Amino acid sequence: MNRLRIGTRGSDLARWQAERVASVLRARHPNVEIDLVLIESAGDRHAAASVASLGEAGIFTRAIEAALLDGRADVAVHSLKDLPTESPEGLVVAAVLPRDDPRDVLIAPSLAGRGIADGDGAAALAALPQGARIGTSSLRRRADLLRVRPDLQVVEMRGNVPTRVAKADRGEVDGVVLSRAGMARLGLVAVGCVILDVETMLPAPAQGTIAVQVRADDDATLALVRDVDDAPTRVCTDTERALLHALEGGCRVPLGALARLDGNMLLLRARLQTPDGSSILDDVDMGPATEPVALAERMALEFRAHGAARILAASRSNGNAT
């Protein structure tokens, strides 16, 4: 193979992620010429619409997958947390890159100079003004915010990462919550930015991970891409996504999940909540690293035994996204 076409969205963050994949592949395969193919997603075309109004899943990924299936691209690069847990027929996630920091950040100018340390999410949320307006399009983030501070006004906010940061800077909202990985990848520094610990805000399944998708029958590209797959990241994100799948979760489920390896064992922490944060299931479990799906399915059964169906129903009727 002498040429590889990488399909990606055109946002600064998506292009950064595609270029990162390209640089990793070039380092392993210097004789392969790599080009980016920019593709507009449904989420990009309707940037002002709420995520829920655009469909249940895949609003940022379907168009890129279509380009992969019809041969306009050889691989597709995604944020793994945006990918539905079931790939379209004929496509596989051939590689995941080493995971970046999966945590979220709160950006609120009023926190500047308050001496709040990164990782002290409780202090950061406590310091927000009464009734502060916090922007996010995520049900998961909404639920965690309201669980800790029921007085907050959580408002729907779309747009790319710099746009959302700018809205906080201009005072259109009192704060926004974003992924730390996205901020770091773009080299953005924001006034009043505090990293949130996972006790305060548990990340979305697979957050911080870049995925590379390939046609299942393209043996040459599969061999090339699988060479850069990161095994520890793969087993952890497979576990988190298996839990989401077992709960029949789509883009409107406020589920946080984070797995980590501890030697030959795998530790999974998960939190499922109603959108207002008033009802919560929180669990930690451990199992062999060789059995990630079994661990996820066991936790899903535990959640279902304690009322997950009611929480999932409340989530799907709310009309936002993770």
Active site residues: 82
Q: The tokens 């060479």 sit on which residue?
A: 227
Distance CA(119)–CA(198), nearest Å, equals 8
> 214: which residues sit within 8 A by CB, 6+ positions away?
68, 74, 75, 76, 91, 92, 94, 221, 222, 225
| Identity of the residue numbered 12 | D
As given in the structure block, the two tokens for residue 285 are 């479990």
Distance CA(151)–CA(166), nearest Å, equals 24
- CA dihedral (211, 56, 158, 168) positive or negative: negative
* Greatest alpha-carbon span in the chain: 59
Give CA angle at 104 (100, 110), nearest 5°.
135
Contact (Cβ atoms closer than 8 angstroms) between residue 160 and residue 11: yes
Distance CA(176)–CA(164), nearest Å, equals 7
Contact (Cβ atoms closer than 8 angstroms) between residue 296 and residue 269: no
* DSSP one-letter code for 254: -
How many Cβ atoms are within 10 Å of 28's Cβ, its own excluded?
11
How much is the CA Rg of the chain, to the nearest whole Å?
19
Distance CA(53)–CA(150), nearest Å, equals 25
